[in-house]
C-alpha cells in the first residue's frame, strides 16, 4: 500500500543517521547547560522521540501545537496556537523541534512567542528544510536535510492527518491530493 502513495525520499537508516548527527551537535552545544526541548506538534513527534533519546544533556520536554495548514497542502500564513507549553521557560535555553521548515511562518511565530515568555535563548531544530518556500527570514540552527519543493509524508509528517505512521519519508504522489 505504501508504494502506491509515495516515493521514498529518506529511508529508515538515513533518518536514524540524520537524527544521530543532529543530537551530537546539540549535545556539544549545550554541554553543561540545561535545555527545555519543545516539540511542535503534531508533525515533529516521531523525529523528536528519536532525537530526545539521543540527547545526553540535562533536558526537559514540553510540547506546543500550532498550525497554518488546516487540511490543505499550502500554508494559509495565519498561525494559531492550539496547545501552549506548560513549562516555565523564563531564563532557560529552549530548543524548538519541528518536522519541516518551509515558509517559516509557524516557526517564526512560535520562536517569537517563546522569546516573549523570557527564554534566555531560543534555537530551532528541524528535520527538513525547504528554503525555496521561505517567506519569513528565518533559519534553523540544526537542520537534518534540505529538500526541494515537494509534498512529503511519513515519519510524523502528514497529509490531512494521514500517513504519519510511514517509517520513511516519501514524496506524496500528486494523484493523492489533487483528486
Q: Which residue has the cell 529508515?
A: 12
Pairwise CA distance, residues 6 & 51, whole Å: 24
Active site residues per annotation = 102
Sheet holding 169-172, edge to edge: 6-10, 169-172, 152-153
Pairwise CA distance, residues 162 & 154, whole Å: 9
Amino acid at each position: 500500500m505504501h508504494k502506491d502513495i509515495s516515493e521514498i525520499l529518506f529511508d529508515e537508516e538515513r533518518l536514524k543517521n540524520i537524527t544521530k548527527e543532529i543530537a551530537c551537535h546539540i549535545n556539544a552545544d549545550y554541554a553543561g547547560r540545561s535545555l527545555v526541548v519543545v516539540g511542535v506538534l503534531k508533525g515533529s513527534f516521531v523525529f523528536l522521540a528519536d532525537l530526545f533519546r539521543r540527547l545526553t544533556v540535562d533536558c526537559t520536554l514540553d510540547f506546543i501545537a500550532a498550525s497554518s495548514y488546516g487540511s490543505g497542502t499550502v500554508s494559509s500564513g495565519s498561525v494559531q496556537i492550539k496547545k501552549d507549553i506548560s513549562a516555565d521557560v523564563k531564563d532557560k535555553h529552549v530548543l524548538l523541534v519541528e518536522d519541516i521548515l518551509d515558509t517559516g511562518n509557524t516557526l517564526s511565530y512560535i520562536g517569537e512567542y517563546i522569546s516573549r515568555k523570557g527564554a534566555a535563548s531560543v534555537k530551532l531544530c528541524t528535520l527538513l528544510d525547504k528554503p525555496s518556500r521561505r517567506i519569513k527570514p528565518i533559519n534553523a540552527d540544526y537542520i537534518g536535510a534540505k529538500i526541494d519543493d515537494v509534498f512529503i509524508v511519513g515519519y510524523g509528517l502528514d497529509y490531512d492527518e494521514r500517513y504519519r505512521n510511514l517509517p520513511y519519508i516519501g514524496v506524496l504522489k500528486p494523484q493523492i491530493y489533487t483528486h
